[in-house]
Structure 1
C-alpha cells in the first residue's frame, strides 16, 4: 500500500498494460484516473477493478485541448493534479517504408510521440505550479525502438523518440522534484500484439530466452515500482522488460 494518498493518471487505460497498471496502482492505495479515448473501454476497466478509487476519463492524448481538459478535470475533482503520470497510450500502423502512407505515419506519431510530449509537458507544468514534489512520469517506449523491425519504421521511430524525450525531461524536471523514466516492454500479451502475424510471433517466441510472451501485469509491476518511493533515485532510465529478448 505504498501509494496511499497519491493521485495517478494512466493513459491507454482501456486495455492491456494500461488496464493492468490501473489495477496495480489501485491495489497499492492510489487514486487512479483511468483515461482512454474510448470511454467505454475506460469504463470497462473501472468496472473490472470495482474500486471507488478508480474513475474513468475520456482523453485523446494527441489533442492539446483534450490533455488540457484532463489537467483541469483532475484539479477540479481532486483539488490537485496527479503526482503520478503513466503514458501508456500507443498505436501501430505497420507497413514497409515504400508502402507506408502519410496518414499511417502521422497517426502513429500523433499518439505515440506527440501524445507523450503533451501529457509530459502539461502535467509536469501543473505539478510545478501546485508545488508538488516527488512527482513521477513513466513513459511507455518499446524494445522495438532498439530492435528496429522491418515494417515498423513509424512505430520504432516514435518509440525511440519517447526514450529521448524521457531522458531530456528527466534532466529538465529533476530540480522540481519530478522524476521521468521510460519502460521498454518486449512482446506482451495485449490486443496490440494480437494483430501481429502468427509467423512473426512464432519467431519472437523462438528468440526470447524465456520462450513466452510477457503478461501486462509484469510491465505494470515495474510501473508500480517507478511510481513509488522505492525508486526515489531512479531518474532518466530506459528499462527493458523483455524476457531477455
Structure 2
C-alpha cells in the first residue's frame, strides 16, 4: 500500500515542487488549493504527479478556516483511506512597515500562515494517532528565525510555526509521529518575485552560496523528512537557505 501525503498550498511554487517530489518518491498525493479558481492549476500538478505511477487529486479549502479544513480532510481520507504525511505549506504575504501596517494585513497573514498550521495539525493528528505513525512537516521561513524589515506579520507567523513544531513534536513523539519544520531562505517563486529589488539584492548579497534557491531544493528536504531515513528526527528546523542564516 502506498503512503499518502497531503500538501497544502500546492498549486504553485514550493508546494507544487513538494507535491511532485513526493510523487516521485512513491507517495499518493492530495493537493490542496484555496478555491475553485485555483483548481485548474492544482489539476495540472496532479497530472504531473500521476506521471510517476501514483494517485493524485486536488482538494479545495481555505486552510485558515477550520471548517473548510475539516471538510477537506474528510474527503481526503474517504478517497485515499489514510494520511501518512502532512505538509503545511500554504502561506501569503501582506508586507508593510510597522507604522503603516493595517490590522487586516496582520490578521490575514496570521490566519493564512499560522492558524492554518493549527487547523491542519488539529484535524490530521487523530488520524495519525490511530495509525500509530505519521510525519508532519511545517514550512516556516528563515524570516521567522531572524526577522526582516517590512515583514512583521510574516515573521510573526513563521516564528510561531517554529514554536508549534517544537510543542507538537513533544506531544506526538510517543505515538510515532515526527514533527519537523523546513525554513526556506530566498527561493525563486512568485512570492519572492514580489519583493522590492533592493530587498532581493540585499538578501542575495548575504547568501554564502551566492544564488537564489530553487523550489526543488526545499522539496528535497521535505522528502527526506517524510522518508524512512528520517524516522529518528523530530522537533528540528532544517534551514534551506544557502547559508544566509549564519
In 2, Cα distance between the equivalents of 1:175 and 1:26? 28
Where in structure 2 are the equivalents of 1:88-107 lying within 5 Å?
Answer: 88-107=89-108
| Aligned-pair CA distance for 1:41 | 2.4
Query: Counterpart of 2:128?
Result: 127
| Aligned-pair CA distance for 1:33 | 0.3
Gaps of at least 5 residues in structure 2 are none
In 1, Cα distance between the equivalents of 2:194 and 2:113? 18
Worse-superposed segment, 89-98 or 38-47: 38-47
Query: Counterpart of 2:87?
Result: 86
| Aligned-pair CA distance for 1:172 | 0.4
In 2, Cα distance between the equivalents of 1:49 and 1:178? 25
Gaps of at least 5 residues in structure 1 are none
In 1, Cα distance between the equivalents of 2:80 and 2:48? 22
Q: How high is the TM-score relative to the length of structure 2?
A: 0.94
Among 74, 88, 98, the residue aligned to 1:72: 74
Runs of 4+ in 1 over 4 A off after TM superposition: none
Query: Counterpart of 2:33?
Result: 36
Q: How high is the TM-score relative to the length of structure 1?
A: 0.94
Q: Is 1:13 aligned with 2:10?
A: yes
- Match of 1:179, SS state, is strand
| Aligned-pair CA distance for 1:154 | 0.3
In 2, Cα distance between the equivalents of 1:209 and 1:194? 20
Indicate conservation of the 8 Å contact 1:71/1:126, yes or no: no
State how many pairs are aligned: 239
CA deviation map 1:155-186 (0-9, x unaligned): 00000000000100000011111110011100
| Aligned-pair CA distance for 1:50 | 4.4
In 2, Cα distance between the equivalents of 1:149 and 1:21? 25
